[in-house]
Amino acid sequence: MRIVLLGAPGSGKGTQAQRLVRVHGVPQVSTGDLLREAVAQGSPLGQRVKAVMESGALVDDSTMLAVIRERLARPDAGHGFILDGFPRTIAQAEALQSLLAEIGRPLEAVVLMKVNQELLFRRLTGRRTCRTCGRVFNIYSAPPPVPPPCDGRCTAPDLFQRPDDSEATIGRRLEVYQAQTQPLIDYYRRARLLREVDAEGDLDAVATRLAAVLKDVRAI
Ligand code: AMP
């Protein structure tokens, strides 16, 4: 399975990618997570991208290309991958196409996760992550269990809000999505790779709709 999940911040790409990982056994490749890890480690990459990420803007294409090239070369991506948050610009999409063509393993599908603007805002402002187990909750629609434990993986959810999920930055991220990432919808439609999913509503219902549009894509 070699697919891209495309959609605005808050459209549920990460959540649905995690479910696909459990079903298909191919890794989720989230460039946002890779960058957040680099920031947390204080690596040279992390130091370079921290301020850009917090502002809600995009990290430059050549940096992102280096990140994705390195990630896709790791052995666990040998049987496929679920790209989440990459590509985000036409230049990234073109570079990805060449990279995959070089190794003879082109994309099989790109799924657009469709969510209305109001719901996106609510999902992003309500998003909280458990510092211990990494699980993502939503204070409106999927609150953490009270009292703990948190899904059995940690004893007390220590929740934090991503710095770029502040109300001020969310507006900027949604604008950046419209200006720089939305053009990919037509790009992939023309490439006959695009499939669309109604990503509103219950997580299980979205997962079922997603599975339906991917039913012809090989699991591995
Ligand atoms: P995400 O977790 O996918 O919402 O990404 C968080 C932030 O990381 C974004 O707002 C960007 O600053 C940066 N980022 C993640 N993926 C990319 C990408 N493909 N291109 C440029 N910047 C990215």
pLDDT (tens digit per residue) in 125-153: 998 888 877 778 888 887 776 655 555 56
- CA of 147 relative to ligand 1 center, distance in Å: 33
Kindly state the average pLDDT of the residues 84-98. 98
Domains of the chain, residue spans: 2-115+181-213
pLDDT of residue 168: 85
User: Best substitution site from 35, 63, 81 to test ligand 1's pocket, by max atoms within 8 Å of Cβ?
Assistant: 35
Q: Is the CB of 35 under 6 A from ligand 1?
A: yes
When the pLDDT of each residue in the chain is averaged and rounded to a whole number, the result is: 91
Check residues 168 and 195 and name the one with the higher pLDDT: 195
Q: Is 127 a catalytic residue?
A: yes
Question: What is the token pair recorded at 194?
Answer: 């695009």
Closest to 72 (Cα-Cα) out of 49, 106, 42: 106
**Pick the catalytic residue: 122, 135, 162, 172?**
162
Is the pLDDT assigned to residue 155 strictly greater than 80? no
Distances (CA, A) of 81 to 73, 95, 159: 11, 17, 28
Q: Is 36 a catalytic residue?
A: no
pTM of the model: 0.90
pLDDT (tens digit per residue) in 12-68: 999 999 999 988 889 999 999 999 999 999 999 999 999 999 999 999 999 999 999
**What proportion of the chain, given as a percentage, has pLDDT over 90?**
69
pLDDT of residue 28: 96
Task: Report how far residue 121's alpha carbon sits from residue 84's, in angstroms, rounded to the nearest whole number.
Answer: 19
Question: What is the token pair recorded at 200?
Answer: 């509103």
pLDDT of residue 147: 56
**What proportion of the chain, given as a percentage, has pLDDT over 70?**
93
Q: Is the CB of 65 under 6 A from ligand 1?
A: no
- CATH fold of 2-115+181-213 reads Rossmann fold (3.40.50)
pLDDT of residue 146: 66
pLDDT (tens digit per residue) in 113-122: 999 989 998 8
Is the pLDDT assigned to residue 157 strictly greater than 70? no
Q: Is 13 a catalytic residue?
A: yes
**Pick the catalytic residue: 2, 19, 71, 127?**
127
Q: Is the CB of 165 under 6 A from ligand 1?
A: no
Q: Is the CB of 59 under 6 A from ligand 1?
A: yes
Report which protein residue has its CA nearest ligand 1's atom 10.
56
Closest to 88 (Cα-Cα) out of 7, 186, 162: 7
Q: Is the CB of 164 under 6 A from ligand 1?
A: yes
Atom of ligand 1 lying closest to residue 56 CA? 10
pLDDT of residue 30: 96
